[in-house]
Amino acid sequence: MMSDSKCILKVDHLSVAYDDTVVLKDVSFQIEKGTMTAIVGPNGAGKSTLIKAVLGLVPLVEGTIDLTLDTKTVSAYGGAKSNSIYNHIAYVPQTSTVDWDYPITVFEVVLMGTYRRLGWFRRPGKRERDEATKALQTVGMLDYAERSISQLSGGQQQRVFLARALVEDQEVYLLDEPFKGIDKTTESVLVKIMKEMQSAGKTLLIVHHNLQTLEVYFDQVLCVNRRLVGMGPVRDIVGSHILDETYSY
């Protein structure tokens, strides 16, 4: 299968539970650097949970996550708390997770992408502002920089969130349903940006719903339903029994 030298993210025997309910059981997979992977599965299958587990937002009951960067490998273990892995992963949450009536401008939201690097007390300077401007340009939202976020459409909100993640400049990007509730035009704009990120060597894992677009957008598919039902290149998965099995119960 994949050569270990190019593997950037390795998830080994991962299990996650909320209270006593097991949400994900014994999930193992490897992601190659510079790929775009779709995470698919029915509602409640644990797709978002998988992303949150990799981000350290939910505790791992069992398992290991290894992140292999150019210079080092960092790991997170079940039961143990390690922050080092989470510092190298960017996250684009669902736009519904924040309050869009919040009194803040588009530019300020994008600038938040620099906060992790800045740490406590330091304020964003010229360099950070330049990076935010560049990211807004990339997603085609520079004209909206000084607008209040309450004036944005669903697609524009998603672009702003993507710009914020771009500013972070991480190796791995996890996106939770970025195409939810947006129009076709915006979707193609977003996909174009994601493809560019991929060309720049970034690795993307995206929770996705529309099975029709799998072949156009992605390299490989991760089928999740409480466990890993299957994983492989898009052409092997689409039309195979694995998709049926994923959505069958």
Partner 1 sequence: MSHILEIWGIATITGISCSLIGTFLVLRRLSMMVDAITHTVFLGIVLAFLVTKDLNSPWLIIGATAMGVGTVYAVEWMQQRRYIRPDAAIGIVFPFLFALAIVLVTLFGKHIHLDVDTAILGDLAFATFQRFTVDAYDLGPMLLWIAMLVCLINAVCIALFKKELILTTFDPVCAKVYQAMPMAVSYGLMTLTSLTTVSSFQTVGAILVTGCMIGPPATAFMLARSVKAMLFISMVVSTIATTIGVTLAFLWDVSIGGMIATVIGCIYGLVWIYKYGRNNG
Residues 79-138 binding partner 1 (CB under 8 A) are: 83, 86-87, 89, 91, 93, 97-99, 102-105, 108-109, 112, 115-116, 118, 120-121, 123-124
Q: Give CA–CA dist 134/99, Å, rounded.
A: 25
The answer to whether 148 contacts partner 1 (rule: CB under 8 A) is yes
DSSP bridge pairs for 18: 21
Q: How far is the CB of 174 from partner 1 (least distance, A)?
A: 9
d(CA 16, CA 58): 8
Which residues in the 5-34 window bind partner 1 by CB under 8 A? 19
Smallest separation (angstroms) from partner 1 to the CB of 112: 6
Burial, 200: exposed, middle or buried (Cβ in 10 Å; 0-12, 13-18, 19+)?
exposed
CA 168 to chain centre: 13
The contact pattern for partner 1, residues 158-197, with x = CB under 8 A and - = no contact, is: ----------------------------------------
* Cβ proximity of 232 and 220 under 8 Å: yes
Residues that bind partner 1 (CB under 8 A): 19, 55-57, 83, 86-87, 89, 91, 93, 97-99, 102-105, 108-109, 112, 115-116, 118, 120-121, 123-124, 148
